[in-house]
Structure 1
Amino acid sequence: MTGQWLKRWREGRIGFHRATPHPALVRYWATLGVPRAAKVLVPLCGKSVDMRWLADAGHPVLGVEFAPDAIEQFVAGRDQGVLRYGQAGFDIVRQGSIELWQGDFFHLHIRQVAEIAAFYDRASLIALPRPTRQRYAFHLAQLVPPGACGLLISMTRKDPDAGPPYSVSHAEIEQLFSPNFRLTFLEQSPPDARGFIESAWALKRRGPIN
């Protein structure tokens, strides 16, 4: 799976990338009530400009991405210095208030994300095949503390077996996340030219008794 994505980045086959912040992020982030200085985790972040939007809104950002090409393209998009260092299996590039951790998201340990207070997933869940999505939802729940809020943007498509990006039904989202998160459905977009339909969800990490 990782080899497939690395090849896509090398060949520039990244039709999933947006040149502007996602409208659902702009529309709904403030409704989550995330404190301005809260650090935001962005799994499988690619070179998403949504991270710039979050940083400009006052949030330190920690993005995790397996493809080095994605990280290098992201930092090249702004004329700003970078710091490079390593930590426990990750090569880290820092630019302003954005840290990009190059490595396997599933190797990220809770000790490394102790400051995380919110999260954003626009294209992580739908990048993963079905067997891996359960693992992703569980690992995300392990990394974020009780009360942490996040925005999930998912997608369905005409052929549920095609991908990536993969089609993830509303029922599957409920099944994956409801054990550890309170979910609120926010909106569903009309189909685009490819027949892709996006949906936006607000998530809040459950505590021990809720």
Structure 2
Amino acid sequence: MQEDWLKRWEEGRIGFHRDSVHPTLVRHWPTLGVAPGSKVLVPMCGKSLDMRWLAEKQHPVLGIELSMLALEQFVSEGSGDVARYQHTGFSVMRQGNIELWCGDFFHFHIQQAAEVGAFYDRAALIALPEATRQRYAFHMAQLVPPGTPGLLISLARPEPHGPPFNVTSDEVQRLFAPNFTITHLGDGEVEPNGFQESAWALVRRGPIES
């Protein structure tokens, strides 16, 4: 799977990338009550312009991405100096208040996420095959502390094959309900290709909540 993802970036097969900020982020992020200045974790971030929108809202951003090519494109398309360093197996770039960690999301650990106060997933869960999505949901629960809010965008599509993969509402509930409270924020319009996005507000539950 990793090899296919890297090859997509090398060949420019990145139809999932949006040339504008996702309207669902703009519509629903303000409703989450994320504290000003909270660092936002963006797993499998690609070169998403959504990170710049979050940064403009005064949120430090921590993006994690497997493809260095994606991250190099992101900083080259931005402005400002870029600092580069290595941290526990990751190559890290910083531009303004955006940190970009190049490496495997599943190798990113809680010690590195200590300051995370919110998260945003528009293209991570739906990029993973079914067998990996359970691992992803559990890893997210391990990374973020109790009370952490997040915005998840899932995708339903006529064919199950991907990426992006079909992730039903029932699956979102099954994956995240053990560790998060879940609120369905709404569904987007059905696109001509049959795709339909859904927005979810998640909050990491504490150890004594049920």
Q: Is it true that 1:36 corresponds to 2:39 in the alignment?
A: no
Could you tell which deviates more after superposition, 5-14 or 187-196? 187-196
User: 1:54 is matched with which residue?
Assistant: 54
One-letter code aligned to 2:38: A
Offset of residue 193 of structure 1: 2.0
One-letter code aligned to 1:174: Q
Offset of residue 189 of structure 1: 1.0
User: 1:70 is matched with which residue?
Assistant: 70
User: 2:196 is matched with which residue?
Assistant: 197
TM-score (norm 1): 0.98
What SS class does the counterpart of residue 81 from structure 2 fall into? coil
| Percent of pairs with identical residues | 62
Offset of residue 9 of structure 1: 0.3
Q: Aligned equivalents of 1:14 and 1:172: distance in 2?
A: 25
What SS class does the counterpart of residue 91 from structure 1 fall into? strand
Offset of residue 190 of structure 1: 1.6
One-letter code aligned to 1:175: R
5+ residue gaps, structure 1, are none
What SS class does the counterpart of residue 54 from structure 1 fall into? helix
User: 1:187 is matched with which residue?
Assistant: 186
Q: Aligned equivalents of 1:186 and 1:79: distance in 2?
A: 34
Number of residue equivalences: 209
User: 1:131 is matched with which residue?
Assistant: 131
User: 1:4 is matched with which residue?
Assistant: 4
What SS class does the counterpart of residue 9 from structure 2 fall into? helix
TM-score (norm 2): 0.98
Q: Aligned equivalents of 1:97 and 1:136: distance in 2?
A: 26
Matches within 5 A, 1:155-174: 155-160=155-160, 162-174=161-173
Could you tell which deviates more after superposition, 173-182 or 185-194? 185-194
Q: Which runs of 4+ in 1 moved over 2 A?
A: none
Offset of residue 79 of structure 1: 2.6
Matches within 5 A, 1:47-126: 47-126=47-126
One-letter code aligned to 1:24: T
One-letter code aligned to 1:35: A
Offset of residue 116 of structure 1: 0.3
Offset of residue 80 of structure 1: 1.4
Q: Aligned equivalents of 1:12 and 1:77: distance in 2?
A: 16
Q: Aligned equivalents of 2:186 and 2:74: distance in 1?
A: 29
5+ residue gaps, structure 2, are none
User: 2:25 is matched with which residue?
Assistant: 25
Q: Aligned equivalents of 1:198 and 1:79: distance in 2?
A: 31
Offset of residue 78 of structure 1: 1.4
What SS class does the counterpart of residue 162 from structure 2 fall into? coil
User: 1:14 is matched with which residue?
Assistant: 14
Q: Aligned equivalents of 2:136 and 2:192: distance in 1?
A: 29
